[in-house]
Amino acid sequence: MIALKVKTQYRSEFVDITGDVAKAVRKIGISDGIVLIYCPHTTAGITINENADPSVLTDINLKTSKFIDHNDPDYRHGEGNSDSHIKSSFFGASETVIIERGKLVLGTWQGIFFAEFDGPRNREIFLKIIPG
């Protein structure tokens, strides 16, 4: 297992980690297999989406924050970050990407993102690279 550090700057943001994942795969030196990208936090997640136009992520952030309110009087969790926990489950804790000839197999416009929902924080993600 490989641990990568991610430093976030805002309460809610998407950090492009594609380069860091690709670098870790190159360092391990396997040709074919899969890489599991795992987030061990309950108020963050991992997602794959467009990395060409940053407006896409701005829109995702805007829309999810509209339908998952920060301050809903019905929330029971006392920490005041129920929206962050809900978004974490909504986006999910992991993604799996195919590795072929040492490279990540992603669509032309795809990137891998750490999804922060309760930042800014120093976070960690785990990678498991499985040959095959």
Q: Does 32 bind Zn ion (CB under 5 A)?
A: no
Q: Does 72 bind Zn ion (CB under 5 A)?
A: no
CB nearer to Zn ion: give 21 or 44: 44
CB nearer to Zn ion: give 41 or 95: 41
CB nearer to Zn ion: give 51 or 88: 88
Q: Which stretch binds Zn ion (CB under 5 A): 14-22, 63-71, 79-87, 122-130?
A: 79-87
Q: Does 79 bind Zn ion (CB under 5 A)?
A: yes
Q: Does 81 bind Zn ion (CB under 5 A)?
A: yes
Residue appearing with tokens 């969790």: 77
Q: Residues binding Zn ion: what is the number (CB under 5 A)?
A: 2
Contacting positions for Zn ion (CB under 5 A): 79, 81
